[in-house]
Structure 1
Amino acid sequence: MDAAVKVAADVHVGTPPGPLSDWVMRKVHFHGFAGLPTARGVSVKSPEFSCFGHQWLVVLYPGGGRLEGSKEGHVSVYLHNQSPESIQAYFKFVLKHPTDQTKRSFETGYAIQSFVAREGKGRHNFAKRETVLTYLNNGTLTLEVHLRSHKKAESNGYVPSNPCSGNLLKGFNNEEMSDVAFEVVGEVESAAERRKRAKTSATTFHASHVILRLNAPSLADMCRPGDEAAVPINGVEPEVFKMLLYFCYGGKVSEDELAANAKAVIEAADRFGIVNLKLQAEAVLTERTEIKVDNLLDNLLYANSKNLALFQENIMDFVAENGDNVIGNVSFDDVPGNLMSDLLTAFSQGKKATGSSAPDDDLKLMRVVELRKRLHDKGLCVDGSRETMIALLRENSASDETAAEET
C-alpha cells in the first residue's frame, strides 16, 4: 500500500490573475453622425473616459479605415487604451436600434485582449455605413462599450497603506495640533423681504498654517503661525468654512454636500484660493442645474462673474442648441462683450461632433475640460476664464519654444 502523500503549498510562477469583474458598460454618443467626414482613414475620437483604473477612448472611422481588410462603405471602430500601463480585458461594441428592438443588434465579441499603451483593438468592418445611418437617434450614433477585466489578485501578505492622509485628518480642527485660529461669522436673512441680514454666532476653527499655505494660500496670508488672536472671517457660513478646511486636510466633500451649498462653496473657495474645491463645486453645479430660457441669462452672468468656465460653456451650449427659442425671448444687451466671443465658439463647436476633439493647435475651439487638462499636465493654474486659460497655454508654449531655441 502506497504511503500517504503530504501536500505542501503550491508554487506559483508569476502573479495569478484575480477573479473576473462584472461587465461595465459605457455609452459613447457621436452626435451628427451623418455629417462626419466620410473619407477613408479619417477618424473621429471620443473624449477619454475611465474604467478599471485606465483611460480609454473610442476611435470611429465613419467612412472606413485604411488598414488591410477594411471594406469600402463600412464603418470601423476601435477601443484605445490611453494609459501608459498595459491591461488585459474583454471588450465588445454593441449597436442597438434606438426604437425597434426587433431589429438586429450589431455586436463585436472578443476573447481577452492585451491592450498595450496607446494601442487600439476593434473591428475593421463593424457595419455598413448605409445601415448605421438607419440606427441613429435624432442624428446621434450611440455605441455601447462593454468591458471586463481581472480583479487584482489578493496578496498573501498584508501591507498597510500609506497613513499620511488619515494622519492629516486627525489634525483637522484639532487645537493642540494647530497654530492658527479663525472666528467665523456667517449671515442669515432676518426679514421676509430679505432687506436685512443678521450675523450668526461666531464659531472658532483651528488649523495648521503649513497646511493652509499649501492648500489655501489666500487664507494663509491672513494669519501668522502662533497668533494669539483668532482671525475674523465674515460672510461665510461656519458649515461651509468647515467643508473648506476639511478639504484642505485631504478630506472628501460629498457631492450632495456640494450640491446643497454649491454657490456658497464656490464663493468661499474662490475667495481663499482653494481652486480644486471650487472646480468640484462648479462641476456639481453644472451637472445639477437645468438651463432654461428663463434662467439662462442669470446663470450666464453669474458664471462669468466667478470665472466658472465649465458652467458657462454648458450655458453657451444650450444657447447654441436652442437658438430659435432663445432669440426674441432673451435680451443680451447687458451681456459683457467677451461672452459674445464664447457664444460664437459654442456655435462653432456645435458644427462639430461632440465626440470629436479639436485639432491640437486649435485652442480656441477646445472644450473647457481639454483646456484644463492641458494646463494641469503642464503644472499651470486651471482656474480662470476660457480666454485666460488659452492665453496661459499660448504663453507657456511660446516660452517652451524659446527655451528650445536657446539650447
Structure 2
Amino acid sequence: MSTAREIHVGTPAPDFPKKESITIHFHDFANLTTEKDERVESPIFSAAGFQWSLIIYPGDDSSDLSNESPTDVLVDYEISMISSDGDIHETNSRSEASFRKAAKNGGWGRSNFVKRENILNKDNGILTNGTLTFLVSINPNEEYYCRLKKKQYLLGNHIITYLVNDKETADIAFKVGRKVFHAHRSILKARAPELYELATNFDTDTRMPIENVEPKIFELVLKHVYGQTILPNTWAKHSKQILEAPGKYGFNDLKIEAEA
C-alpha cells in the first residue's frame, strides 16, 4: 500500500488538527450478523480533533462513518477497504461532508460498498485470516474548524463571566483599598498565571492586598480575566491606569490588547 506524504507551505496554526488515518479491523467477518439493517459498530476513536465510529452492515454490503462528537463537523473523508496484500480494494470518499453532532443515522457512507460474497471469496484476497480491514482517513476543514473554535471560546467566556466576583464559589479574595474582590484560582491559573502565583498563600479569609491600583481599575482588569470586554470609551478614559496594571500583575494579554 502506498504511503501518503504531506508538504506544508507556511506554518499551520498550532492547534489545527492534521489529517489522520485510522486502521480498523472487523474480526471473524464471516460470522457477523447478516440480518437486514443490523449493524456492527467499531469502538469510538479520535481523529482530526473529533470523535468517530465506523459502522458496517454485513448483511447490506454497506459502511458508514459516524460522528460521535458533541458538535457538528465538516471534513473530507475516505473509507478504504484494505485487501490482504495491503492494497486498497475499494474506496468511498467525500469532500466537505457535513456530519450532525452525535446523531443516530447521521453518518456518511455508501450502500453496496462491496458485496458480501465478494468479500468472502478467497480468490479476491480481501480478508486476512478472516478479518476485514478498513483504513479511515479524515481531513478537517480549516475554515470550519477555526469558526468552531472561536464559537467555543466565546461560549466559554459567556459562561465564566457569570462567576465574576461570585463570593459563594470563590476560593481567593483580593483587598484593593477598602473593596474586596472574589475570584477563582482555576480561572486565574488559566488567564492570569502571574497573579495566580502571587496569590498562592492567600484565600478568601486571608485576602491578598493589591497596592497602587485603584479599585475600579482592578475591577476592570478582573472582569477582563473573566472574559468581559472593556468598552472603547472605558479604554479612552482609563488607558494609562489599565496599561500599568498588566506590568504589576502579569495581565500580558490585556497589555497587548490595549496597545493594539
TM-score band (shorter)?
0.3 to 0.5
TM-score when normalising by structure 1: 0.31
TM-score when normalising by structure 2: 0.47
Whose helix proportion is higher, 1 or 2? Answer: 1
Whose strand proportion is higher, 1 or 2? Answer: 2
Specify which structure has the bigger relative contact order, considering alpha-carbon pairs within 8 angstroms and separated by 6 or more residues: 2
